[in-house]
């Protein structure tokens, strides 16, 4: 079933992100004080060089020029993204428990939640409107499965 495949893919993406974040965080712990002392430009350079270094050490080909632009995400933002994706995944799973007379609602919410996950992953951030939609979907789905 397509929903099962989507849930598996979403779960793997969340798991991969958590593992990668944990690994990167543990590597940064040793350099945290020095990193904090860097200017914003220095921090961007550190991240850029880190990407190049890790890609080279792992034997991954880096195509094109890597540049980190704009603001670096804060840990809170990364956590908010992970939390939103996890909640959306839960909502999709809950949609499978909705009785047959709510199948249209379940499909609509499940499809919308899956689409929102793709958008959040692509943009790396969550908007207030998305958070509100997530809360509303959760409440609506809970009313069906109780």
**Average pLDDT by stretches of 10, the chain with 146 residues:** 55 73 72 76 74 69 46 57 89 94 95 92 86 94 91
Could you tell me if residue 21 is inside a domain? no
CA gap 24, 1 in Å, rounded: 35
Residue-range definition of the domain harbouring residue 100: 73-146
Could you tell me if residue 52 is inside a domain? no
Domain count, the chain: 1
Could you tell me if residue 4 is inside a domain? no
47-88 confidence digits (pLDDT tens): 777 777 766 666 666 554 443 344 444 555 667 888 888 899
Could you tell me if residue 27 is inside a domain? no
What's the pLDDT at 135?
93
What's the pLDDT at 68?
36
Could you tell me if residue 121 is inside a domain? yes
Could you tell me if residue 66 is inside a domain? no
Could you tell me if residue 93 is inside a domain? yes
Instruction: For Cα atoms 120, 124, 130, give the angle at the middle one, nearest 5 degrees.
Output: 35
What's the pLDDT at 110?
95
**Averaged pLDDT score across all residues of the chain:** 77
String of DSSP letters for the chain: -HHHHHHHHHHHHHHHHHHHHHHHHHHHHTTHHHHHHS-HHHHHHHHHHHHHHHHHHTTPPPPS-----SPPPPHHHHHHHHHHHHHHHHHHHHHTTS-GGGHHHHHHHHHHHHHHHHHHHHHT---HHHHHHHHHHHHHHHHHH-
Could you tell me if residue 68 is inside a domain? no
């Amino acid at each position: 079933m397509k929903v099962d495949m989507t849930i598996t893919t979403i779960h793997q993406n969340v798991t991969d992100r958590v593992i990668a974040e944990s690994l990167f965080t543990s590597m940064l712990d040793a350099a945290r004080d020095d990193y904090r002392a860097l200017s914003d430009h220095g921090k961007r350079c550190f991240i850029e060089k880190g990407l190049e270094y890790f890609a080279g050490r792992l034997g991954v080909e880096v195509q094109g020029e890597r540049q980190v632009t704009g603001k670096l995400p804060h840990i809170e933002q990364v956590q908010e993204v992970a939390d939103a994706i996890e909640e959306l995944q839960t909502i999709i799973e809950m949609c499978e428990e909705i009785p047959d007379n709510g199948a249209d609602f379940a499909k609509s919410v499940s499809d919308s939640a899956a689409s929102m996950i793709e958008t959040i992953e692509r943009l790396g951030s969550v908007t207030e409107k998305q958070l509100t939609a997530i809360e509303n979907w959760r409440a609506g789905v809970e009313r069906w499965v109780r």
